Amino acid sequence: MENIVLANASHGGFDGGASAADGTVEKDINLFIAQKLCSILRFNGYNVIMTRDTDTGTEDDESASIAKRKKSDLSNRLQIMKQHPEAIFVSVHLNKFTTSAANGAQVFYTKNYKQAYDLANSIQSSIKMLIQPENTRVVKQGTSSTYLLKNASVPAIIVECGFLSNKQELEKLKNDDYQSQIAFAIVVGIMDFYELRS
């Protein structure tokens, strides 16, 4: 059976997501990581569908209010899940926090599917093992305010890849090689997940 991964570069276009002190915008790094994720997965024989592959949102009406566009954007991404009930959904985000010391990747999962918890754990472990041995974060269930996890119709997770508010981590996140390392670690987690499931 072919494994289908829905790769979601969060935000995009009108919606920049979080931004760093130096003007770095979350949507751009999310896209770079998601594109690398997609390439590595495809190279390994996975069927990957990206929710966006350019700097655009997925909303229907670009002339609508920002609130309406945001709503339409999220519901269209949810629609992609509904069209692929056999897939898993991997969303790439970056974090931001008031305390600049906060750093490290953390994976969130939907409570709608037990496999989402397993997938989140696999990815959290591979990130720790491959690039962040000092990371003590554990996977967390997404809150009801996280629309895509709350309404997920397939095993869905969010990888918060790091903090834009931490100076050292920001520099890493902007680095092409580091983006590849994160993408690779996520892929290893996905492969472990399928391995354990089969």
Residue 161: name the closest of 55, 39, 28, 49 by CA. Answer: 28
Q: Considering the rule CB under 5 A, would residue 17 count as an interface residue with Zn ion?
A: yes
CA triplet 11, 83, 72: central angle to 5 degrees?
35
Q: Which is nearer to Zn ion, 92 or 119 (CB)?
A: 92
Minimum CB separation of residue 13 from Zn ion in Å reads 14
d(CA 38, CA 58): 18
Phi, psi of 115 (to 5 degrees): -65, -25
- Compose the 79-108 pattern: x for residues touching Zn ion by CB under 5 A, - for all others: --------------x---------------
If one counts every other C-beta atom within 10 angstroms of the C-beta of residue 116, the result is 26
Task: State the residue number with the nearest CB to Zn ion.
Answer: 93
Q: Considering the rule CB under 5 A, would residue 57 count as an interface residue with Zn ion?
A: no
Please list every residue from 143 through 162 that binds Zn ion, using CB under 5 A: none
Stretch that binds Zn ion, among 12-20, 68-76, 84-92, 148-156 (CB under 5 A): 12-20
Residue 18: name the closest of 127, 92, 78 by CA. Answer: 92
Number of residues engaging Zn ion in binding (CB under 5 A): 3
Name the residues that contact Zn ion, by CB under 5 A. Answer: 10, 17, 93
